[in-house]
Amino acid sequence: MSSHLQPGDEVQDLKSCSLDLSGEYTTIGTKDDGVETWRILTSELVATAMLVFLSCLPACGESSPLLTRAVAAGLTVALLVQCFDHVSGAHMNPAITLAAVFSGRVSMARGVGMMVAQAIGAISGALAAVMLNNRKSSYCVTMPNGVVWRAAAVEAVCTCCLTLANLSAWDIRNRRWHDSWPLRVGLAVSALTLAAGEISGASFNPLRSFAPALLSAHWDHHWVYWVGPLGGASGATALYVALWRLH
């Protein structure tokens, strides 16, 4: 690099380079044409369907040891992020998409479209899992264990942590570490599942809980899995943008 650069030029050059690189890593917000939008929406639909389907298999079920469920959940997320991150960001979760909208990374219209696609994918994945496993009607439903407000608080705090991980990954100051993002987010999900699994069922995703509840008409304390994750994601976004200035 030239020795006549003024103070701050290196930082500006890094920012420009990072902005260019971010277009390579993800297409979210870089194009507004219809074809690009449909690619993003179908990516979110398929990724969320796979997430819910795999989450409802026996290895991730309540009957499995917590450690097994945590490892399976983390590896599942790592796999899907590796497959779909470059297309749509691999949110697979309306709480994460909400954070992307609030932080200005995704437009409101596109964010709503992504959430609709995620909902369709979640219901499709849950339906496939129920049909394949031929289980009882309440199969794969997440439910609080013990005090309900405690489960809601745990969902909020854990989703806040997960959202902060995503916000930091989206920050251009972290672009140099992007190649390891699937592994890092997978480990984060495993850690959070170990922490929350025995209290709330470790959902962190409203649609992960909504789809099985819809198919089984099992709505006991279902609000926990909307209020907790969406509240946690909103709080994390406000904190990150206000204090650490998302770039």
For residue 31, being part of any structural domain is answered with yes
Please give the pLDDT value at position 64.
Answer: 80
| pLDDT tens track for 168-181 | 999 988 888 788 99
For residue 4, being part of any structural domain is answered with no
Nearest to 193 by CA among 61, 53, 45: 61
Please give the pLDDT value at position 61.
Answer: 62
Please give the pLDDT value at position 26.
Answer: 40
Please give the pLDDT value at position 118.
Answer: 99
Nearest to 234 by CA among 47, 68, 97: 97
| pLDDT tens track for 38-90 | 999 999 999 999 999 999 887 556 668 999 999 999 999 999 999 999 999 99
Number of domains in the chain: 1
Tokens 């008409």 — which residue?
217
Roughly what angle, to the nearest 10 degrees, separates helices 94-102 and 148-170?
Answer: 50
Please give the pLDDT value at position 30.
Answer: 44
d(CA 2, CA 10): 10
For residue 136, being part of any structural domain is answered with yes
Q: Output b/e per residue, 156-176; b: 16+ Cβ within 10 A.
A: bbbbbbbbbbbbebbbbeebe
Provide the domain limits for residue 157. Answer: 23-244
Please give the pLDDT value at position 86.
Answer: 93
Provide block-wise average pLDDT over 10 residues at a time, the chain (247 residues): 43 36 39 79 98 84 83 96 96 98 94 98 95 76 92 98 96 85 96 96 96 93 97 97 80
For residue 12, being part of any structural domain is answered with no
For residue 7, being part of any structural domain is answered with no
CATH number at residue 178: 1.20.1080.10
d(CA 114, CA 145): 31
Please give the pLDDT value at position 136.
Answer: 64
Identity at 153, one-letter amino acid code: A
For residue 173, being part of any structural domain is answered with yes
CA 113 to each of CA 10, 154, 162: distance values in angstroms, whole numbers, following the listed order: 38, 28, 22
For residue 13, being part of any structural domain is answered with no
